[in-house]
Structure 1
Amino acid sequence: LKLPGCIFFTILILLLTFSLSIHCPDAGAQTSTSQKQQKSKKKSSPPKIITLGKYNDISRVKRRITEKKLSSTSKQTVATSSNPKKETVDKAPVPANSFNKLISAKSAIIIDARSGKTLFAKAPDNPRQPASTIKILTGMIALKSLTGNEQVPVSSWAAGQPRSKVDLNPKKQYQAHDLINAVLLASANDASVALAEKIAGSESSFANLMTEKARQWGAQNTVCKTATGLTAKGQTSTARDLAVMFRHAMEEPAFAERMKQVKVKTTYGTLLRNHNKALWQVEGTQGGKTGFTNAARQTYVGKFKRGDCEIVVAVMGSETMWNDVKKLVQRGFALQNRSSTASRNRIDEGQGLHALASVSDAGQRN
């Protein structure tokens, strides 16, 4: 009797299992997946435990990392400040010793045309033959001594001067303003001597007047022996003196007006061309005087203006005068611009401090 009952229950369990598999097909899959995951967990090795030693505390680890980052940033900042990037717009001028080698002139100077302050100098007080640059004194004294309409005779001594000259005829007389233009623009030696003799009676007496004028302007190392600048024993000047004298001369409107003319036609029909090539080669040229003798070599003094900046440049004993002048002018304005920028910054800082002081005072009063 017991055997049939066991068979009955066995059949019943099989039927129930079959029924469940039909109605819940995922059950078997889920069971299988669960079994696989359990097997996978058993096979996989346990995770490694990272030992942090004295930094087991997470907050301490984070703090340590932060400190390292700050230290790295600080080092980068120090490196950057000690090696700042060079600005391409406002480069520092070439050091004076290096720049000296870039110009052939034995003596040179750049001064501020307004204040007279020296911006650059290379052996500026070495005495040298001035050549025709000394004619700035000849022209200025003539402008102050004559009205311009006077008739000026020409002696055989004046007419016989070597070049440069405008070939004055000793049998004729010329208007003073024509001869002054010939001196300042065409560097005419014959016109220089004719004016000197008209004003002082002789060239040597006129040369004394030139030396006196130089002293009045503060040119202490200039001694004139001729009205022309032709080589003469004892006749000397310096780059500094030339710059000082030209600065003063350009303050005279009649002088400055003549110096900027490229060419002028005289009343007797001669076309005078200015020897100062800087007028059409160098930006901002206001006027200048050239000179040359074998003893002096090339000499020059001129005034230049760009924007609000004005400079006077003088060179003596040059072999490449125009190259020297261009380099000196460029350097002069670079130095002036840097000086002006520094001055503006100081003014801005002063105004800022003044404003802060005012605010502080107002706060204390309140």
Structure 2
Amino acid sequence: MNRCSFLFITLLAPCVFTLSASNVPQAQATLPVLSNTAKKAPPAEKQLPSIAPTIKNTPQPVAITATATKKPVKGSKGSAEPICTIDTSSDGPIILGSKGSIASVKEKVAQVTCATEAPAARETKRPRLAAINKHITSKSAIILDAETGDTIFAKSPDNPRQPASTIKVLTGMIAIKRLKKNEKVEVSRHAEKMPRSKVYLSTQKQYKANDLINAVLLASANDASVALAEKIAGSEKDFAKLMTLHARLWGAKNTICRTASGLTAKGQQSTARDLAQIFRHAMQDREFAKRMKRTKIKTSYGKLLRNHNRALWQVNGALAGKTGYTNMARQTYVGQFQRGDDTIVVAIMGSETMWTDIKRLVEYGFKRKEQVRIAQLEKTKSES
């Protein structure tokens, strides 16, 4: 046995060398599967002479196949941390590199990295909607599909709160149904002394019901609300009972009325869901909807009434709405919006930034409707 052969056997004891008689410089070593626990071969006294110069072709790199398994990474949805293992059972022997030592092979194996597998191709990616709760100050809010009554979004929608002037939707609707437009309405001292908002009615005059209804729905007049209530029911207290009954008939089960104006009163309450349901039903009445869409109108006695609902000229798709405010209730609102074939009802209570909240909720509502429509189309396609 010559010295070269002895060194090969000493260094590469686990390897089986096959030497060709016709082509001695070309050597191939077959190695068993390497494990991370395999011990390194003891260093030789003399370094093995490199055989690279005698090989005609450029030495091939280590051929290693690695299988990867996914391990979820905490805090990152859908990401994966690959775990790699060496698999040589099906790919044949590992080919030594130019250095020609087991240590060099181990070094190459240690440097193997596995890229995370690419996620499976998805269908059309839908835009993610921001968490609207974090971007509104309203204590409670709701978005309803005006056609079906289905809830699109809700934030504490059934928490009872003071409704403020949004309750005047009931006052106006009952007056439309109970009084003729030209019917005369007298004004009591109680009505005349109502605080703002008001149109400054006088006990010395009579007013047409049509003018007072517009004053209630557009200018949110408290004095006009009480005058209409007393005309219809004899007293504001009895009229409030009538309002509560109408709310019940429209599915507003958590609404209790104590005043015709919505001014803060003990025991008076409503919810965002109830306000939305009431307004949704009211807008099905053509006369009510027609009045609520106006931005301004003159009374028969020449007074200009301006609509308090700024959404009519500030929010795309606004059809109608009723505002409200008291120190106890804070800002309240209920309104209906339409874009294309979609119509939604938005109600908020206890807001500090009413108009900003309304704009954000309206945008969210229509985007959510679009998402639902896309999902339904995709479902229909997959089933067909």
With normalisation by structure 1, the TM-score equals 0.73
Q: Counterpart of 2:261?
A: 228
Identity of aligned residues (%): 61
SS at the partner of 2:373? helix
Q: How does 1:85-164 map to 2 (within 5 A)?
A: 90-95=126-131, 99-164=132-197
2:56 is the alignment partner of 1:48: yes
Gaps of 5+ in 1: 1-44, 56-62, 65-74, 353-366
Q: Counterpart of 1:290?
A: 323
SS at the partner of 1:298? strand
Residue 337 of structure 1 deviates from its aligned partner by: 0.7
Return the index of the structure with the highest Cα Rg: 1
Q: Please give the alpha-carbon distance, in whole angstroms, between the structure 1 residues aligned to 2:231 and 2:261.
A: 15
Q: Please give the alpha-carbon distance, in whole angstroms, between the structure 1 residues aligned to 2:129 and 2:160.
A: 27
Residue 146 of structure 1 deviates from its aligned partner by: 1.0
Q: Counterpart of 1:192?
A: 225
Residues 49 and 168 from structure 1, CA distance in 2 versus in 1: closer, same or farther, beyond 3 angstroms?
closer
Provide Cα deviations, 1:114-146, integer angstroms capped at 9, x if missing partner.
Answer: 111111111111110000000000000001101
Residues 187 and 78 from structure 1, CA distance in 2 versus in 1: closer, same or farther, beyond 3 angstroms?
same
SS at the partner of 1:275? coil
Provide Cα deviations, 1:262-284, integer angstroms capped at 9, x if missing partner.
Answer: 00111110000000000000000
Q: Please give the alpha-carbon distance, in whole angstroms, between the structure 2 residues aligned to 1:339 and 1:51.
A: 60
Q: Counterpart of 2:104?
A: none
1:258 to 279, 282, 291: 291
Q: Please give the alpha-carbon distance, in whole angstroms, between the structure 1 residues aligned to 2:152 and 2:58.
A: 70
Provide Cα deviations, 1:163-218, integer angstroms capped at 9, x if missing partner.
Answer: 00001111111111110000000000010001001100000000000000000000
Q: Please give the alpha-carbon distance, in whole angstroms, between the structure 1 residues aligned to 2:218 and 2:59.
A: 93
2:368 to 332, 335, 339: 335
In structure 2, give the amino acid aligned to 1:283: N
Q: How does 1:202-351 map to 2 (within 5 A)?
A: 202-350=235-383
Residues 76 and 171 from structure 1, CA distance in 2 versus in 1: closer, same or farther, beyond 3 angstroms?
same
Q: How does 1:167-186 map to 2 (within 5 A)?
A: 167-186=200-219
Q: Please give the alpha-carbon distance, in whole angstroms, between the structure 1 residues aligned to 2:257 and 2:57.
A: 99
In structure 2, give the amino acid aligned to 1:347: T
Q: Counterpart of 1:79?
A: 118
Residue 349 of structure 1 deviates from its aligned partner by: 3.2
Gaps of 5+ in 2: 1-52, 64-89, 92-113
In structure 2, give the amino acid aligned to 1:243: A
Residues 347 and 51 from structure 1, CA distance in 2 versus in 1: closer, same or farther, beyond 3 angstroms?
closer
Residue 91 of structure 1 deviates from its aligned partner by: 1.3
Provide Cα deviations, 1:71-98, integer angstroms capped at 9, x if missing partner.
Answer: xxxx98941428x6995xx412123xxx
Q: Please give the alpha-carbon distance, in whole angstroms, between the structure 2 residues aligned to 1:242 and 1:317.
A: 13
Residue 149 of structure 1 deviates from its aligned partner by: 1.3
Q: Please give the alpha-carbon distance, in whole angstroms, between the structure 1 residues aligned to 2:285 and 2:382.
A: 38
SS at the partner of 2:147? coil
Larger % of helix: which?
A: 1
Residues 277 and 49 from structure 1, CA distance in 2 versus in 1: closer, same or farther, beyond 3 angstroms?
closer
